A and B are shown apart, each in its own frame.
Chain A
Amino acid sequence: MAAVTTPAHAPLGHAHASHADTPHADHDNFAAQLRMNRLGLWLFFISEAFLFGGLLAARFYLWGGTRPELDQNIGLIVTSMLLVSSISMRIAETAMERGNRKAFSFFILLTAIFGLIFMGGVMVFEWGLFPAIYQGHLTPWGDKYGAIVFAMTGMHALHVISGVAFILIVWNLARKGHFSKERHWGVEACAIYWHYVDVVWIFFYPALYLIGNVAHVTH
């Protein structure tokens, strides 16, 4: 038997119609696929919630009512960065929903920039990767505070970076003419993924910066 193909079901929601029999059937297919995609992505979020929840559990298990000495200003600044990035991401998505591609491109790139600033803040100040700029005092191997801070921010940072990559892919596709007002699952997925990463930080921020008394560790 020869290989046969069925029409591509526009994976990321391309603008042009696929080759289904009638426009009506095409619309139904797209709607059904969209519903499945959404549920799938949300299930993925639920799954990841257990990962981040596990990290939080480890934090409370090891630190209890204490926390490391972290620069509060840095905490506030990176947190606001993620917050404004979420706002600009939501604006970008709304722009796409209204067919305003220019605004979309602008705001989604802005989101990526905010995300990168967040990453910069984490790497320079929380991790102290560039001692020339800022002398961090935590190391992953120093004690339980360093270990957990690096584990939580590291796992989160991995998601931020993948989010930025996702943004760049979607931005590039949009630039090439993909997506439309009605069909832009790729944009939607990218947006809610980004917000999800923000939600994670909403829990991590107090867990790392606010809860408990500062512990002064002697080595």
Chain B
Amino acid sequence: MLKQNGYGIVVFIGVLLAILTVVEYFMGLYHVGATLLMLMAALKAILVLYFFMHVSRLWTAEGDH
């Protein structure tokens, strides 16, 4: 599993999100349709939920970060 808590991973995920956003923008330009765009949004959202909001802390014990 990727380590969630370094500065490095934060920047890496940030860059990934930026790239996805650009891809998304061009998907929009080429009219790929609502479904694919919403799936793309869901993918980005999952990245944020997991790496930025560390959702997994909900079910992992406290003290291991």
Complex: A in contact with B (CB within 8 Å): yes
- Of residues 1 through 52 on chain A, the ones whose CB sits less than 8 Å from some CB of chain B are 31, 34-35, 38-39, 42
> Do A76 and B14 touch (CB < 8 A)?
no
The 25 listed contacts between A and B (C-beta, < 8 Å) are: A38-B58, A76-B25, A80-B18, A83-B14, A84-B14, A86-B48, A87-B10, A90-B51, A91-B7, A97-B5, A97-B65, A192-B53, A192-B54, A195-B48, A199-B53, A203-B45, A206-B24, A206-B37, A206-B40, A209-B28, A210-B24, A210-B25, A211-B28, A211-B37, A211-B38
- Inter-chain contacts of B54 with A (CB < 8 A): 192
Q: How many A-B residue pairs have CB under 8 A?
A: 86
4 closest A-B pairs by CB: A210-B28, A87-B14, A206-B37, A31-B62
Q: A94-B7, A202-B44 are in contact. Are A210 and B55 (CB under 8 A)?
A: no
> Do B41 and A94 touch (CB < 8 A)?
no
Interface size grouping (class) on chain B: 20 to 34
- Inter-chain contacts of B21 with A (CB < 8 A): 76, 79-80, 83
| Cβ contacts B7-26/A at 8 Å (1 or 0 each) | 10011001001100100110
Please measure, in the bound complex, the distance between the C-alpha atom of A87 and the C-alpha atom of B7, giving whole angstroms: 10
- Min CB distance B2 to A, Å, is 14
Query: How many residues on chain A are close to B (CB under 8 Å)?
Result: 36
A121 within 8 A of B: no
| Cβ contacts A185-198/B at 8 Å (1 or 0 each) | 00000011001101
- Inter-chain contacts of B18 with A (CB < 8 A): 80, 83
- Min CB distance B50 to A, Å, is 11
- Min CB distance A197 to B, Å, is 10
- Interface SS of B by simple majority: helix
Please measure, in the bound complex, the distance between the C-alpha atom of A87 and the C-alpha atom of B28, giving whole angstroms: 24
- Min CB distance B25 to A, Å, is 6
Please measure, in the bound complex, the distance between the C-alpha atom of A180 and the C-alpha atom of B37, giving whole angstroms: 41
> Do A87 and B41 touch (CB < 8 A)?
no
> Do B38 and A203 touch (CB < 8 A)?
yes
Please measure, in the bound complex, the distance between the C-alpha atom of A202 and the C-alpha atom of B58, giving whole angstroms: 22
Please measure, in the bound complex, the distance between the C-alpha atom of A86 and the C-alpha atom of B10, giving whole angstroms: 9
CB-nearest residue of chain B to A67: B28
B1 within 8 A of A: no
- Inter-chain contacts of A91 with B (CB < 8 A): 7, 10
A128 within 8 A of B: no
